[in-house]
Structure 1
Amino acid sequence: MTQMIITGLLCGALLGFVMQRGRFCLTGGFRDMYLSKDNRMFYALLVAIAVQSVGVYTLIELGIIEYNAGTLPLFAIIIGSFIFGIGIVFAGGCATGTWYRAGEGLIGSWIALAGYILMSTMMKSGVFAPINAKFQQPQLQTNSMADTLGINVWILIAILVAIVGFIVYKEVTKPKVFIPTLKAKRTGLAHILFEKRWHPFVTALLVGLIAMIAWPLSAATGRVFGLGITTPSANILQYLTTGDSSLLNWGVFLVLGILVGSFIAAKASHEFRFRMPDVKTGLNSFAGGNLMGFGASLAGGCSIGNGLVMTAMMTWQGWIGLAFMILGTWTAVYFVFIRGRQKKKNTVISTKTSPTTA
């Protein structure tokens, strides 16, 4: 139990610290791909996936951990991931992003987190559990991409690494754009950790390494998986309402560690402050959190569980889930940002041109 608490909290704290300082926000990354054609955060995600994939499969080859991709609930993954993508736009952050932004003092993220945890619990062991189970029923027998294609998994990893390497090379060799920065107030390591702007690829490299380390640390406590957010988040509420200590697994301390690490990073970099949302934003955050919890439970993973971990394991679940998360995000962005702005603009024009009455 002590080992589980210490390693879970430390791994989570590292992840929360790195994500907060590196602004590793997949919601913003998916949104920017559509709105401003900026793919840097998506490229950073691919870097983290590649690093983790090489590391974890090396651990498997060495016999340190074991892994079975299992079956594929295709319909549930498609529907759940699409809903999750919509939810993260309204919530203002994905599952992990919501945890680390809560550590910054963002009250809207606490509201989204409440909805996310509540709905995840309802889907896994509450009133919506039968619906979740029903959607999970149609399953394809093979989830492993390598098994489906009849090739060695290292071929897929090599292809991914080659693609990511090419992308990184193209990005780092682009002409540098001068970005004015504030005068440094700290020096040395303190400046790098708490003041200097982190490059997305450096952040992604660290996230990938943490994701890799999570596997053996988690497996040592009997939980054979890497980073995961949705089920551990639900386990917290389940434990608080039932008192069942068996629900306190390594993943629970991981997500709590994210909160701690983010708070430390935000406090040390002077970015921590309580920020209260307006009523509309608060309601959107809660609704978005519920959509996240519903979608992630249905899909068997969130932007981390499917989008980072299951992709690295070269599963159909991961890559299909990631694709439909992005599609869901783009759909929400279109209706919320683009159509919403157009409607507001047309309303303003209509108001200005309409005749006044005495």
Structure 2
Amino acid sequence: MSLLDRLGTSRGLSPDLSIGQAPPTKTESPAQVRVIILGALATVALGAFVLLQKGTLPAILFTLGVALGFVLFHSRFGFTSAWRQLVSVRQGTSLRAHMLMLAIAVTLFAPILANQWTYQGVPATGAVAPIGFGLFVGAFIFGVGMQLGGACASGTLFAVGSGQSAILITLGGFIVGSVLGALSLAWWNGLPAQEPVDLSVTFGGYAGGWAATLVIIGLVVAATYLVGRGREKPPVDRAPVATGLARALRGSWPLWVGAIGLALLNALTLYFSGSPWGITFAFALWGSKILDAVGVDVLSWPFWQDPANLAKYQAGIFVEKTSIMDLGIVLGALLASAAAGAWLWHRRIPLRLAVGAVLGGILMGYGARIAGGCNIGAYFSGIASMSLHGWLWGLAAIAGTFGGLALRPLFGLTNPKPTDSAC
């Protein structure tokens, strides 16, 4: 049971927003018109400001962020719960949804990267990173943090947008951890590391890298069936609160629909911006901007003295890609949850849960920064870019999941039991 599990349910919303499926909802909640209006006004106002003041590309990325928030909410596409279910009760349903998403994404990424098909000729570069101590340590503690914080990087954002005030504690910890990670990143980068391993180079081109990635995906899918043999249970699907065309706006979506939607939107992010979807760089940016505002000389840090990072810092939160897309995800999830009648606010949080949430956020923020990305920027986008580090990040995060599961009871969180159905 996650942080949000303990807080209960309201208006038919799954309490654990990181879980792909949840218990059936039999009652239909009306759309929350006031929230929709306020959310729409905020979305349009911010979109118009970005378009008129910052340019077309930031506005496009903001729109993609809104769409990502919409898809994440309706499909409840989870990373935290997928690894928790695999490790604790050997349920591989959600992890197989990951593999579907990755298979589609790498299939879309390959021709974009190979032919440099991008918006206005922007150079396309995949999420390919070195393999070093920072990668393994960072991904491991990120895996621990996910299980304590109750959500991953993407889950944190769409939970905030859904009105889950409890997850704001996790987000606050995420920002703190990201800033600490930025401050210490130079030390981690100074440790010995293996040069990036790009499967498109290893296997003689993007076609070879694509084929190799699909083989690995197939092996992972087979492994989930072997691990769960005799213990797999059918997933418990949420009853949609609407049917027909209305389900697209108000109902729950199957995991496979979320997998397809996220893969398409990541490919569009690559096409328009020249690099794949990422999330956590924005948290380091936001936190550093806050410190800068109170007189801390963050620009003296090696992290911000890097020319590429400095350019993003100077561009600001309404231009930097991950920042503007993160804001879009929050607003997209707000609109989606309000349309489904599931937006809620003001939750009282027991102290132990709050401590676990902030600690989980700090671990995820720090881990993502030193590992070069989170479940999105390193795992999803890394694998889609045919980078070996994405697979290694996932393995280290699963290892961290074991540690996180062991620590959860200390913070009043329970773990799934073998008798539980997949959810």
Q: Read off the aligned partner of 1:72 and give its amino acid letter.
A: P
Aligned residue runs from structure 1 range 236-255, under 5 A: 236-242=286-292, 245-248=314-317, 249-255=320-326
| Cα distance in 2 between the residues matched to 1:91 and 1:42 | 20
8 Å CA contact 2:128–2:385 kept in 1: the answer is no
Residue matched to 2:84: 31
| Cα distance in 2 between the residues matched to 1:41 and 1:176 | 12
Q: Read off the aligned partner of 1:158 and give its amino acid letter.
A: A
Aligned length: 325
Aligned residue runs from structure 1 range 104-253, under 5 A: 104-124=162-182, 129=183, 131-137=184-190, 138-147=192-201, 149-161=202-214, 167=221, 186-195=242-251, 197-219=252-274, 225-242=275-292, 245-248=314-317, 249-253=320-324
The alpha-carbon distance between structure 1 residues 318 and 185, as it changes in their structure 2 partners (threshold 3 A), is closer
8 Å CA contact 2:69–2:331 kept in 1: the answer is yes
How far is the alpha carbon of 1:71 from its aligned partner? Answer: 5.4
Q: Secondary structure at the match of 1:35?
A: helix
| Gap regions ≥5 residues in structure 2 | 1-53, 118-122, 226-231, 294-312, 415-423
Q: Read off the aligned partner of 1:309 and give its amino acid letter.
A: S
8 Å CA contact 1:107–1:277 kept in 2: the answer is no
Q: Secondary structure at the match of 1:151?
A: coil
Q: Read off the aligned partner of 2:149 and give its amino acid letter.
A: A
The alpha-carbon distance between structure 1 residues 188 and 246, as it changes in their structure 2 partners (threshold 3 A), is same
* Structure index of larger Rg: 1
How far is the alpha carbon of 1:228 from its aligned partner? Answer: 0.7
The alpha-carbon distance between structure 1 residues 263 and 323, as it changes in their structure 2 partners (threshold 3 A), is same
Q: Secondary structure at the match of 1:277?
A: coil
Q: How does the TM-score come out when normalised to structure 2?
A: 0.70
Residue matched to 1:283: 355
| Cα distance in 1 between the residues matched to 2:171 and 2:284 | 11
Q: Secondary structure at the match of 1:314?
A: coil
Residue matched to 1:354: none
Q: Read off the aligned partner of 1:40 and give its amino acid letter.
A: T
| Cα distance in 2 between the residues matched to 1:252 and 1:104 | 18
Q: Secondary structure at the match of 2:257?
A: helix
How far is the alpha carbon of 1:163 from its aligned partner? Answer: 6.3
Counterpart check, 1:45 vs 2:92:
no
Residue matched to 1:10: 63
The alpha-carbon distance between structure 1 residues 186 and 135, as it changes in their structure 2 partners (threshold 3 A), is closer
Q: How does the TM-score come out when normalised to structure 1?
A: 0.82
Aligned residue runs from structure 1 range 199-348, under 5 A: 199-219=254-274, 225-242=275-292, 245-248=314-317, 249-274=320-345, 275-336=347-408
CA-to-aligned-CA distance 1:268-321 (integer Å, 9 cap, x gap) = 111111233211111110111000011111100000011100111111221111
CA-to-aligned-CA distance 1:172-223 (integer Å, 9 cap, x gap) = xxx99696865x764532123312x32111110111111110112223xxxx
Q: Secondary structure at the match of 1:107?
A: coil
How far is the alpha carbon of 1:159 from its aligned partner? Answer: 4.0
8 Å CA contact 1:214–1:226 kept in 2: the answer is yes
Q: Read off the aligned partner of 1:286 and give its amino acid letter.
A: V
Residue matched to 1:353: none
Q: Secondary structure at the match of 2:108?
A: helix
The alpha-carbon distance between structure 1 residues 177 and 68, as it changes in their structure 2 partners (threshold 3 A), is closer
Aligned residue runs from structure 1 range 90-105, under 5 A: 90-105=148-163
The alpha-carbon distance between structure 1 residues 188 and 123, as it changes in their structure 2 partners (threshold 3 A), is same
Residue matched to 2:136: 78
Q: Secondary structure at the match of 1:198?
A: coil
| Cα distance in 2 between the residues matched to 1:284 and 1:40 | 27
| Cα distance in 2 between the residues matched to 1:3 and 1:257 | 15
Q: Secondary structure at the match of 1:157?
A: helix
Q: Read off the aligned partner of 2:373 and give its amino acid letter.
A: G
Residue matched to 1:349: none
How much is the aligned-residue C-alpha RMSD, in angstroms? 2.9
8 Å CA contact 1:8–1:254 kept in 2: the answer is yes
